[in-house]
Structure 1
Amino acid sequence: MSRTFTYFLLIFVMFIWGLNVVAIKFLVTELPPLVMQGARTFVAGVIATTVLFFLNDLRKLSKKEWLYVGVAAIFGQLGHHALLAIGLVQTTASNAGLILGLIPLATVIFTIIFFRERVTFLRMIGIFIGFAGVAIIVLQNDGLGAISRGDLFVFISMVSQAFSFIIIKKATTTISARQLTAVMLLIGSLSLLAISFFVEPQAVTHFATVPTLVWVVFFASAIIATGLGHILYNVAIQEIGAGETAIFNNLVPFFALIGSFMFLGETIVFLQIIGFLLIATGVILGTGYLELKLNKVKKQTIKETA
């Protein structure tokens, strides 16, 4: 697979992930959030597992590997998807998309904490700028006292997803990233469905009365965005590496902003644009991507002049 094709593949994944935030916002207005997310991720898990079965990329896991997968599923699927759905009931898709754009930076912070990764001044500046962007978004109305509960839930879901990536990084030393994703989707979805039966006992009856459009969005979100999207993203990581792949996540909030405006009629305000630019800048600096590129240019220059 050529590098150029991988880049186009990643842009497509970011496009469908950005629109997926809009899709989930639409779905939580039509269906109870927990059972909807549980059913949606279950379908995604079944699709992903089926694809991997035909690719012969499934094997028996050890007890230690099951432990890693279970913990990753709790934070990356159960925690992230449940809190995201609940949050989207109370906030806009545009705000949610922008907050989720902070995932690469939050992952870097956890990497620094758990793997003692080196922190440079430039990366610290990037982390500060990124979080300042989110602060502008969530405080855009009337300050600290007016922080939306929905924004708070989405923020916690973002942190939960970022923490799961640390577990995933540890687990993928022995497990295929694609198999890990598929198993996580199944475990997380079954956990979500189990909880929803207690929290939303009458929720299943809603599925019998929803219009056709809801089903179309539901299956498109499950199969294309969550199932296929995660598999393609993992393929890209194998081709160009996790660091360069993560930079493309900056496009998710951009596509979420455009999608929320076009399909949900949400208003895009100036402070959201400022927040997006700060988050994008923060990710480029905070993940060390800019430093990596500058070091490559410096080494190339030294090599040419030597």
Structure 2
Amino acid sequence: MKKWQTYIILVFIMLIWGFNVPALKTLVSEFTPVTITSLRIFTAGVTVFILLGLMGKIRKPTAQEFLFIITGGLLNVVSHHYFLSVGLTGTSSTNGGLILGTGPLLTALMATIILRNRPTVIKIIGFLSGSVGVTIIVLSGGEGLGGLKIGDLFIFISIFSQALSFIIISRAAKTLDPRLLTGYMLVFGSVVLFVISLITEPGGLKQLGDAPAAIWVLFFASAILATAVGHMIYNHSIGKLGAAETSIFLNLNTFFSLLGAAVFLSETVTIYHLFGLVFIVLGVVCGSGTLEEFVVRRKQKRFLEGKQHHHM
């Protein structure tokens, strides 16, 4: 597959993921959040295994890979989805989508700290810009710091867990197919979430029978398209393009979730939200190393062109 084809597929995945934020907001409002999330992720995990079974890609993980599956599953599935589902019941889909947009920044920050990569000036500017963006959004409620909703904090913890998990996924992907890793993590994580839901939401399963058919269509679309197929393709793209280049596309996710919140939930998108979005996008482009990569490539191209010209 050519690079531009991978790019087009990634844009489509971001559209699905962006619209998935208002879909999740609807699901967690209709059902008890942790119960419905555990079932949605289990459905996604089973879908991944069916697809990989057809592709003949299933195998038993080694002991070390199993450790990666458990750690990745606890961070990427349990912590990320638990705090996301509970967080969305306490804040708007618009705020949720924008805070989730800091994912690539946090991933780059984690890589800097854990893998001891020295950050460059451009990356530091990126981290600061992204932080400014999130601060503008969170404080735009007009109530100042006192207006900081616990839901916003939960969504931040959710994206922080996911960013940390990407470091583990990139390590695990050296020996285990990222798509198979996705399947194992989803199934393992959903079981842990289901156990949590039985403790925290004892009446959660009884509620399931009352939902209208349209909600179930939304449930399966979110589980199969956004979670199963979306994560398989995204994690596979990390293997092809690298984590930094793939994470640039997550900016579009933020834009599409704003669009989705406005179209489907009639949420108001303010000038503050748009300001915040600009800072976050700028932050990700600088912070995830994209800008530097672009500059380096341009220099190499000029150098090679100069060399050829010299030989002529």
For Structure 1 versus Structure 2, the TM-score category normalised by the shorter chain is over 0.9
Q: What is the SS of the residue equivalent to 1:57?
A: coil
Distance 2:211 2:301 in 1: 59
CA contact (8 A) 2:107 2:166 kept: yes
Take 1:145 and 1:235, find their aligned partners in 2: how far apart are those partners?
42
CA drift of 1:105 comes to 0.6
| 1:233 Cα offset (Å) | 1.4
Once residues 117 and 98 of structure 2 are traced to their aligned partners in structure 1, the CA distance between those partners, rounded to angstroms, is 26
**1:183-214 CA deviation, whole Å, 9 max, x = no partner?**
00001101000110111011001111100111
2:297 corresponds to: 296
Instruction: Give the partner amino acid of 2:19.
Output: L
Query: 1:247-262 maps to which residues of 2 (within 5 A)?
Result: 247-262=248-263
Q: Which amino acid aligns with 2:199?
A: F
Q: Secondary structure at the match of 1:151?
A: helix
After superposition, the C-alpha distances for 1:209-236 in whole angstroms (9 at most, x for unaligned) are 1001110100000001000111121232
Query: In structure 1, how many angstroms separate the alpha carbons of the residues matched to 2:232 and 2:170?
Result: 16
Residue 184 of structure 1 corresponds to 185
Can you list the C-alpha shifts for 1:10-47, whole angstroms capped at 9, x where unaligned?
01000000011110000011000000100000000000
CA distance in 2, matches of 1:192, 1:238: 28
Quote the Cα distance in structure 1 between the aligned partners of 2:114 and 2:241. 24
Aligned to 2:232: 231
- 3-state SS in 1 of match to 2:202: coil
Map of 1:4 onto structure 2: 4
In structure 2, C-alpha distance between the alignment counterparts of 1:31 and 1:159, rounded to whole Å: 25
**Within-5 A mapping of 1:1-306:** 1-141=1-141, 142-306=143-307
Q: Could you say which residue in structure 1 is the equivalent of 2:310?
A: none
Partners in 2 of 1:235 and 1:68 — Cα distance?
Answer: 17
Task: Give the CA RMSD over aligned residues.
Answer: 0.9
TM-score by length of 1: 0.98
* Secondary structure at the counterpart of residue 29 of structure 1: helix
Give 1:172 deviation, angstroms: 1.4
Cα gap change, 1:63 to 1:239, in 2 (>3 Å): closer
Instruction: State how far apart, in whole Å, the 2-side matches of 1:242 and 1:86 are.
Output: 28
How many pairs does the alignment contain?
306
Amino acid of the residue matched to residue 221 of structure 1? S
Structure 1 residue 241, shift from structure 2 partner: 2.7
Structure 1 residue 304 displacement after superposition: 1.4
Q: Is the contact between residue 95 and residue 152 of structure 2 (CA under 8 Å) also seen in structure 1?
A: yes
Deviation of the 1:242 alpha carbon: 2.3
Q: Which amino acid aligns with 1:246?
A: S
Give the distance between the partners of 2:173 and 2:239, measured in 1 at CA: 12
Q: Give the TM-score of the pair, scaled to structure 2.
A: 0.96
Q: Distance in 2 between matches of 1:169 and 1:234?
A: 9
Asked whether the 8 Å contact 2:178–2:239 carries over to 1, the reply is no
SS of the residue 1:265 aligns to: coil
Q: Which amino acid aligns with 1:118?
A: R
Greater CA drift, 141-150 or 201-210: 141-150
The residue type equivalent to 1:196 in the other structure is S
> Which residue type is aligned with residue 201 of structure 1?
P
- What is the deviation of 1:249? 0.4
Aligned identity (percent) is 42
Separation in 1 of the partners of 2:140 and 2:212? 35
What stretches of structure 1 of length at least 5 have no aligned partner?
Answer: none
- C-alpha displacement of 1:118: 2.5
